[in-house]
Amino acid sequence: MPECVFCKIGSRELQAMVVYEDPDFIAFRDINPMAPVHVLIIPKLHYESLAEFTAKDATLLGRMLLAATHIARQERIAESGYRLVINTGAHGGQAVSHVHMHLLGGRALQWPPG
Ligand code: AMP
Ligand code: ZN
């Protein structure tokens, strides 16, 4: 999927402010941050959305959550708290068709979202 922007960030073909990387995931700052800390965590493999995941991906999904808790500690928002969001599909507000998890924090977030 060479035209996918997030695949290009994952392969380092496109620059991003990377805050975390391991063999399977890369995390980088959102270009249009909605909070003082706004990081996107993506698998390097291309999945269009969360809806594509099946039981064989359970470990990968669990590790994505653990990567988020690691980055939250690294960004010093683990104590104050944060929110993890995976927008999925049109009504979910998903704009980029490569699954990504938002890590938001650094301020009190409102609930429910709009
Ligand atoms: P979503 O609405 O969940 O699909 O969110 C997509 C997010 O990706 C938005 O918050 C965008 O600001 C962000 N975004 C899009 N392109 C880039 C990029 N090249 N680098 C960093 N963030 C991006
Ligand atoms: Zn992709």
Over residues 16-73, the pLDDT tens digits come to 999 999 999 999 999 999 999 999 999 999 999 999 999 999 999 999 999 999 999 9
Residue 20's domain spans which residues? 5-105
CA distances from 32 to 18, 49, 62, 101 (A): 15, 20, 26, 15
Predicted TM-score (pTM) of the model is 0.97
Pocket test of ligand 1: the residue of 12, 34, 88, 96 to mutate, having most ligand atoms within 8 Å of its CB, is 96
Number of structural domains in the chain: 1
Say whether pLDDT at 1 is over 70: no
pLDDT score of 114: 73
Pocket test of ligand 1: the residue of 40, 42, 50, 97 to mutate, having most ligand atoms within 8 Å of its CB, is 40
Give the list of residues 6+ apart from residue 89 with CB closer than 8 angstroms, or none: 49, 51
From ligand 2's centre to the CA of 3, what distance in Å? 8
Which atom of ligand 1 is the closest one to the Cα of 94?
4
Within a domain: 98: yes
Within a domain: 96: yes
Within a domain: 112: no
Within a domain: 95: yes
Residue 31 Cβ inside 6 Å of ligand 1? The answer reads yes
**CATH assignment of the domain containing 21:** 3.30.428.10
Indicate the pLDDT class of residue 113, thresholds 50, 70 and 90: confident
Within a domain: 113: no
